[in-house]
DNA sequence: GCCGATTTGTCCGTATGTATC
DNA sequence: CGATACATACGGACAAATCGG
């Protein structure tokens, strides 16, 4: 439960929007300030979050317009750093993970240039197949820095690596940089995933950093193309320049 | 040129980071406040922008870590609402657009449920093939609200619709909501695009809103899968809940 | 382990600018 | 032109996390 005020206000407003309480626009910042008994700055931070998430759009001199419409996000929500387990809880689909390979190795030059992890470091390398609602959807190639994800085991990797790192190791996972591309399927992919009519899959390469700014993970997730969906909102910064 | 201070500071810091002036971390907020002769809040807004864009990551009690490494973004940069023309200027590749279909029509029920545009509205519907560096990369299906993009013509559509709307019509383009999926290729796709070995393509569906919060556009962009890349940074919000 | 210094995070109040109506 | 509403900027206070002695 967030004790932070703007977070609380953000959640409350978001809930109200989803419930249809504000079909066209939000009350004025002045009004919300009184309603929540906080400063205008705090209300503005909450509205800023709503804008980031595509719920509203504010216009100087006019007000704050509501853009919301029920999103059918039955699939993933990748706009947050979300673990598979968390995604499952949100979507109410049962999720299972099968570790099909687990080893420890040292980062050599080719591995370094693939993963961005520092050469010479000890790492865990594992492959995992992710099932959602009984279907094999994702084949993961995970590279974890041993010095950060210390004590990782196949058993833990079948549950949740992030939960282990946060709960047991007290590590804080903060930023992920991702790259999405589409690749032709390899024999290894067909071995684990049912690709259907598609001859390719979505490859999501991610680098994740902890609170100290250290990249401790590189993951290449190979997704079944027909079940992949990604949603995003963007704001236009400057017209000409 | 931004007259806004935090924007100016953001650009300056970003440039310094890319130039390698801060290989590990930024100076303290205190220091930057003095350096730029502004308030701490203003510095913090600039840093916030850098975080959003994945350049840095701040840690309470520690400082602000630099995450930057030269991204090879030869392809598109979709993390901003960017027109094809703007993308071309940035990547220094020559871009051309060919309008292969142009008509006006009224939004009926099926069109409404596809596009989200209000039923009964007059719209322009067009199909465009986008070439980057001489290759046909994208097949666009565009739906523009006639009342907002009034006066749109095939000639304008071969140049830049957004530039026309902003420069001539004085419209402000603000928010775009996008959905990315992978679809099997249709005969129409093969007619215009060289798909190579792939039997599918990346479909980007977008809804764009103006400053009044009115959705004036729906576009379905069908991208050659082998030339598609999308980059994104995300920050983890809350560990457990 | 405690304490104080440093550094970022949250929140407040106020003033002024700018766009809309 | 005035009233309204969002945008920017300043300054101050305190909380929370980190680090060194």
Task: Average the pLDDT over A186-199 and give the result.
Answer: 93
The reply to whether the CB atom of residue A61 sits less than 7 A from any atom in nucleic acid chain D is yes
Which nucleotide minimizes the distance between its C1' and the CA of A63? D5
How many angstroms separate the CA atoms of B106 and B104, rounded? 7
In window 22-41 of B, residues with CB < 7 A from nucleic chain D are: 37-41
Structure confidence at residue B238 (pLDDT)? 63
Higher-confidence position of A175 and B83? A175
The reply to whether the CB atom of residue B60 sits less than 7 A from any atom in nucleic acid chain D is yes
Q: In the structure, how far is the CA atom of residue A30 from the C1' atom of nucleotide C21, in angstroms?
A: 18
With CB atoms and an 8 Å threshold, state whether A231 touches B178. Answer: yes
Instruction: List chain B domain ranges.
Output: 2-66, 74-231
Task: Average the pLDDT over B47-61 and give the result.
Answer: 93
How many angstroms separate the CA atoms of B175 and B199, rounded? 32
Coil, helix or strand at residue A58: strand
The pTM of this model reads: 0.88
pLDDT in tens, B35-44: 999 999 999 9
With CB atoms and an 8 Å threshold, state whether B180 touches A180. Answer: yes
- Please determine, for residue A129, whether its predicted confidence score (pLDDT) is greater than 60: yes
Taking CB atoms and an 8 Å cutoff, what residues of chain B touch A212? 59, 62, 65
For nucleotide D16, give the residue with the nearest CA to its C1': B60
With CB atoms and an 8 Å threshold, state whether B174 touches A231. Answer: no
Residue of A nearest to B70 (CA): A116
- Please determine, for residue A17, whether its predicted confidence score (pLDDT) is greater than 80: yes
Structure confidence at residue A87 (pLDDT)? 62
Coil, helix or strand at residue A205: strand
Residue of A nearest to B56 (CA): A213
Which nucleotide minimizes the distance between its C1' and the CA of B59? C8
Taking CB atoms and an 8 Å cutoff, what residues of chain A touch B66? 213
With CB atoms and an 8 Å threshold, state whether A59 touches B228. Answer: no
Q: How far is the CA of B52 from the CAs of A87, A127, B85, B161, B179, in angstroms?
A: 22, 30, 24, 28, 20
| A82 to chain B, closest Cα gap in Å | 7
Please report which helix (H) or strand (E) contains residue B85, including its range. Answer: helix B84-91
With CB atoms and an 8 Å threshold, state whether A232 touches B172. Answer: no
Instruction: Band the pLDDT of A76: cuts 50, 70, 90.
Output: very low
Q: Which of B201, B228, B236 to mutate to test the interface with A (most CBs of A within 10 A)?
A: B236
Tokens coding B176: 């775009």
Q: Cβ distance B107 to B119 under 8 Å?
A: yes
With CB atoms and an 8 Å threshold, state whether A234 touches B81. Answer: yes
Structure confidence at residue A72 (pLDDT)? 46
Q: In the structure, how far is the CA atom of residue B142 from the C1' atom of nucleotide D6, in angstroms?
A: 32
Q: Which of B232, B235, B238 to mutate to test the interface with A (most CBs of A within 10 A)?
A: B232
Task: Average the pLDDT over B25-33 and give the result.
Answer: 96
The full DSSP string for B138-191 is EEEEEEEETTTSTT--HHHHHH-HHHHHHHTS---EEEEEEEEEEEEPPHHHHH
With CB atoms and an 8 Å threshold, state whether A234 touches B69. Answer: no
Domain A2-66 has CATH 3.50.50.60: no
Q: In the structure, how far is the CA atom of residue B165 from the C1' atom of nucleotide D16, in angstroms?
A: 48
Q: Which residue has the tokens 């203003």?
A: B42
Taking CB atoms and an 8 Å cutoff, what residues of chain B touch A200? 182, 198-200, 225
- Please determine, for residue B84, whether its predicted confidence score (pLDDT) is greater than 80: no
CATH of domain A74-231: 3.40.1410.10
pLDDT in tens, B204-240: 999 999 988 999 999 999 999 988 888 888 888 764 3
Task: Average the pLDDT over A218-241 and give the result.
Answer: 81
Higher-confidence position of A231 and A102? A102
Tokens coding B227: 């030339």
Structure confidence at residue B141 (pLDDT)? 96
Q: Which of B2, B232, B238 sits opposite A178 (nearest CB)?
A: B232
Domain A2-66 and domain A74-231 have a common topology: no
Coil, helix or strand at residue B39: coil
CB neighbours of residue A110 within 10 Å: 9
Taking CB atoms and an 8 Å cutoff, what residues of chain A touch B65? 209, 212-213
How many angstroms separate the CA atoms of A13 and A7, rounded? 10
Structure confidence at residue A44 (pLDDT)? 97
- Percentage of chain A beyond pLDDT 70 is 88
């Amino acid at each position: 439960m967030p004790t932070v005020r703007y977070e609380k206000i953000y959640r409350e407003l978001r809930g109200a929007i989803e419930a249809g309480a504000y079909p066209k626009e939000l009350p004025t910042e002045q009004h919300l300030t009184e309603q929540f008994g906080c400063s205008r700055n705090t209300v503005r931070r909450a509205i800023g979050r709503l804008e980031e998430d595509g719920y509203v759009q504010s216009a100087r001199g006019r007000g704050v317009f509501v853009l919301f419409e029920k999103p059918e996000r039955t699939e993933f929500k990748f706009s947050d750093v979300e673990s598979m387990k968390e995604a499952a809880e949100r979507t109410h689909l049962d999720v299972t993970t099968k570790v099909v390979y687990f080893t420890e190795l040292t980062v050599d030059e080719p591995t370094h240039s693939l993963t961005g992890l520092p050469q010479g470091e000890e790492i865990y390398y594992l492959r995992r197949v992710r099932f959602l609602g009984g279907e094999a959807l994702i084949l993961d190639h995970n590279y974890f820095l041993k010095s950060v994800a210390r004590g990782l085991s196949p058993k833990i990797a079948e549950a949740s690596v992030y939960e282990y790192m946060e709960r047991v190791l007290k590590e804080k996972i903060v930023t992920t940089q991702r790259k999405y591309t589409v690749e032709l399927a390899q024999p290894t992919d067909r071995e684990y995933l049912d690709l259907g009519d598609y001859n390719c899959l979505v490859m999501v390469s991610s680098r994740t950093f902890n609170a100290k700014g250290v990249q401790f993970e590189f993951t290449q997730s190979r997704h079944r193309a027909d079940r992949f969906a990604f949603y995003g909102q963007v704001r236009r910064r400057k017209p000409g320049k």
